[in-house]
Each structure stands twice: as C-alpha cells, then as structure tokens.
Structure 1
Amino acid sequence: EIDIMEAAGGNPDKIGGTIHYGEEYPNNTYTSGDYHFPEGEDITGYHTYSVEWEPGEIRWYVDGELYQTLNDWFSKGTNQADKYAFPAPFDQEFYMILNLAVGGWYGGNPDETTEFPGEMEVDYVRVYELTGRDYKEPVEPVVEDEELPEDAKQPLEDGNLIYDQSYQEPITVVDQPEDSLDPTYWNFLKLPQFGGEGTMEATDVDGERFAKTTIENPGNALWSLQQIQKIAILKGHTYEVTFDAKSNTNRNLMTKVSGGAERGYANYSGEKTFQLSDVVQSYNYTFTLNQDTDLAARLEFNMGSNGQAPVWIGNVRVEDVTDQQEEETSKSPLGDGNRIYNGTFD
C-alpha cells in the first residue's frame, strides 16, 4: 500500500505519506513521514498532494515541495526463507482509493467535540507517465554495519538489552496520553482512550521475580494494557527475544518489538502470539531489523482485549544474535517445518 496523503481531523496542521510492506498481516510493517503546513495553512484548504513512483524509489510532495523520499523496503512471503526480489512489493499494478474514514487508531474515535457532517472535497485526480528520460533502475540499498552510539542504551555485560530483569526498580505507570515512557526501565501502559484498567506489580514465582499484571478491564484493543521497555537496536542486525510467562488459565499473549510514536509505531518483529497456561513456560522468537536503526524501540507485551486472566512475565531477554546467525551453516527448516525452499516457485 502507498498512502499518497493521510490526514487526521484532530491534527489539521500536518499530513502523512506512508508505504506498507514486509510480510502478510499482522507481520507487515510501514515507513512514513509527515509534512507540516506553513503557519496559517492546514488540511481545510486546497492543496496538491502527489507522489512520484519509480522502480526502487517513491517521492512525496505537497504543493510541489518534496518532503520525503523512500527507497528501502522489502517483501517476504509466509514461511519463505528469503525476501522477494527488490523492488517488490512495489513492482506491480495498484488501484486507487479516495476515502473519508471515521474512527480508528490513526485519527482516534469521535467524541462529543467531533463536528459532523465531515466532508472531503476533491478537485481532480490525475496520473501521468514519465517522459523526457528513462525510469530509474531499481537498486536495493546495501546495509552498512554500524555500532550503537555511546549515548544510546547499551547492552548489559551478559548481552541482554533488557535492564532490571528481576524488577527491582519501580515500574512506571503511564495512564495519560501526555505522559512519557521511562527510557531505561519497565513501563505499564494503560491509556484511558482504549479502556484498559489494571495494575502491575513485582512478585515471586517459584523463587524468581516476575511482573504480575492484574486485569480489571481488558479494554477494546490488544494495546489497552502493555508492559514495555525501550531498547536500542541496529538496522540489519538479528535479535532473539526470550521470556517466561504464565496465567491462571489458558489465554493468549501478544508480544512484538516496535517503534514509538515518532516511528508511527512501526512493527519491526511482527506480532508473535503465544498461548499461556497456569504453568510457567519459556517462549522465544527472533527477528531482523530491516528498517532504520532505532535507539528508542519498544519491547511490548500486549495484554488487552483478551479477558481478565492475569499474566506473569519474567526472565526477559533481548540479545543481538547477528554473529551467531552468520556462523550457522546448516540449512534451517522454514516456519512450517518444510526444508524445501521456494517450493511454490515464487
């Protein structure tokens, strides 16, 4: 999906341009950028929104002003060993949609201050073919290895990117949209617009320290109740996430590594859903960061919208395993267990 222009009525002084790519939902991701209007202008006036789409590069404009250029993305099929050839998925025909939506996470749900009816006025839609020169040849960007800057959150001596694994530090409760996450230690997020209510406290489970989330109201979204810690991760590096968890009955727990608000909450790892039981079990997943380095990425455990059964989480680790991945020479099975790669000749 290529979003030529997205606007939210609650923020009329800016618009966004976005590409959606990666794997199939919910393991897709996106990259976006914002355009801020000059003082005195906003989305209520007429403006010309456009993209220039060439093989391997997409450019966004407002009133002829270039504000974003993207040339780095990927596409990967479910249970496939490798990515499709660049510039997939933006190497095929798309269709165009112009719509006026109400609600959703992008603009938020309407309330008593929302004015109805809402209108979208479109003067024209035009599509041009490039003339005067050939289209660019697509060139997939080369990922150059980099190191964390000195002022970034560094891994501990044992390689763990997670601080306070045993919950000795206070857990920061974030329950208002204007509140900030603690940049170093654990956070418990329960924003009122999503309806989640509960508490999080450190407790002992079989002699080890776990964070226990007691759920009073699961809210209306998976992210209604979240346990979050910020981590610094590098583009092109592979990471392994491991943790122990339980409930007092069978229930699901969704976890992922994502960007924050400044990254549009981009999904870096894909959503990983595990079924918990009343016995402590160990869980793990790996992912490679294909987007730009993020020094304020978020490890999330999402416990909303899934009943009131409590959740215990402990022994959380996030470790850079890039070197281990490069040393492995055996051909690993795909996600569905198949040892034949590209069995569908895609």
Structure 2
Amino acid sequence: MDDDPDNALCQLCKDEIFKYVCPRCNIPYCSVRCYQSQAHSDCSEEFYKENIQEWLKAEGPDSESKKTMMEMLKKFENQNLDEDDLETDNDSDDEGSLTDRLAEVDLDDPDEVWDRLLPEERQEFLEMLKNGDVTKLIPEWEPWWEKRYHVPKVRFLDDPIEPEYVGVCPNIVSVPDFSVLTKIEPSPQVYFNVVNVLASFAVTARYLNGDFDAMPVEAAATVMFVSKNLSNHEVFGDFDTAIESVSQSVIECSWVSLDVDSKRSDLLAQDVKNILAGPNEEHPLFYAKAALSCLISLMRSAKKFSKKPVKGAFSAQFPEHASEAVPHPSKDVLTKCSKKLEYYLSWAEVHLLKYCAK
C-alpha cells in the first residue's frame, strides 16, 4: 500500500484530499472547481462538448426541440453581440451571423451544429456550461397551470369550438368510468393522495422545464421517487403533509437539481392549488385531469425503453454526481403505477369537484 501523503492529494490544486477521479484521464481531484480549472481544461472541455452533443441527441427530431435549440443559439448569439457591433454593417462579416450559418444545418446532428460554431463561440459556450450560465440560454418555461382563462358571457357561432387551454395542456387520457373500476365508496384520503401525486407532477415538470418526452425514464423515476404515494403506497390525511412529503423527497433525490429552500413547499402548494382550480370556473377539473393524464402517458412511454440505467440531466453536467444514476423502474412497477394513476383520473371525474369547492 502506498503511504505517500502526496498521493492522496488532489492532483490539480495540490491542497485538498482528492474525492473523485476523472473518468476520462483518471486524474484525482477534489471539487468541481478543480475539475473545471485551466489545468484540466483539455479534458473537461471535451466532457462538456460531449454533454452538448448528448443533449442534442436526447431532444429528438421533433420540431419543438429544433425550435428550442434555435432559441438557445439565438440567445447565445445576441448575448455576445457588443453594442457597438449593432451599429456596424453586419453584412461585411465574412463569417456571417450564427443564424445564417445554421440556416441549412440539421439541428438533430450535434456534430454539424458544433462544427458551425466559431472557435470563440465554442469556448464561450463551454465557459457558460462550466459557470452554470447556460441555463440563461434555455427558453423560460411557463407552467400551463398558472394561467387562468376568461369565460365569455356571450358566445357566437363562429367562436372556436375548442378552448385555447386545450391546445397547451397534455391530452386527456380516456379511462373507464369509476363505477366500472369499483363499487366501493372511496376514502376521503384519496383526495390527499392525489394532492401528493399532483405535487410530484408539478416539481418534475419544473425540473424538466416542462419536457417529459425527452427523458421519459428520468421523468417517470423522478415522479415516483418524490411521490411516496406512488412509490411506497403512503397514505396522506391532510393537504399540507401531502405537499411537504414531496418537498422533502426533492431534497433526498440525488439527481434532481432544484433550489431547495423554505419556499419550496409554498411553491408546490400554490402549484397544486392552481392545478385544482383549473383554467376557469367553467372547467375546474381540466388541469388536474391533464396532469394525471400526462403521468399516465409518461408511465406508458417509459415502459418502451430498455432497463439500462441512465444518468440524470444534472449528473451529466456536474462530474461530482456522475456516479449517481437514475434508477430505471421495472415494467411491472410502471404498469402498476399507471393503473393507480388511471384510478385517480377516473376518481377525479366523479369526486374531485366536491373537494376543490372547499
């Protein structure tokens, strides 16, 4: 055994005991700061480049992902424009704008996107990743349940048949009538269990910026981890306890990167109250049904993926957490969870309104 104390030190700063080993170059290091230092830049920058590529691949070929990527790159371009440059003739720039350079690029090909960035743009993008500033490039997501819609007092024949909120919410899943599922009168505690599930939906939606489709396995695992009703069949007896349980689970969830403070429970409580209020007084159940339907679709989607564990979005960006893998729920667990959610959705159709009115 090597007793040399120098061998226990971080090989980048030489001051602290090392805690981690870079998976690429095997150098021992003590912190993210050292990992991202100039001494380790060749390795870490390649790591971050790969993460950009993995993110692009994970987003898939849908048009919404392309739109998001273009918005990110456009914000990146605008953020790096000097005010004086705005007064010059941009047409004289031989390199052209970033938008022009990406006009004919396949945004699903990460290598092609990366190759079109200028060296200084790549460097600046990597620096933003290191500093955490890349989140500023991501288009801000506004939860659909925060918006209320006016109910017109007078309707005309040419008014849209489908309300506006239907188009921005998840599709409602069709489930059997509650009377078909059971003849037993449900316990009042079912309502508080649904509150716990809705809180897990809200916190997962905020964590994933509203995009459940890009990483269905991680999304499903997160929902089940933070909802003790879904994962451990825990039963709740009041609203506050159902909310606080999710808030505490977020703290314990190793792969979720959300600010944790005294206001977390307050935000979750308000999210759930907004969901339970619905888009307007005419359709108060719609948001709750949309949220439960989203979770049902999510569980079904997650079942289609392999059983291989995947790294979380947070772990992919921060090497200190690289060993933390998101547990992949088995197909049996996902099926049972989906069935419970179907029960809750069917229950909501019949019983939820009397609780929302209180």
User: What TM-score comes out, normalization by structure 2 length?
Assistant: 0.23
- Which is higher, the Rg of structure 1 or of structure 2? 2
Q: Which structure shows the higher helix fraction?
A: 2
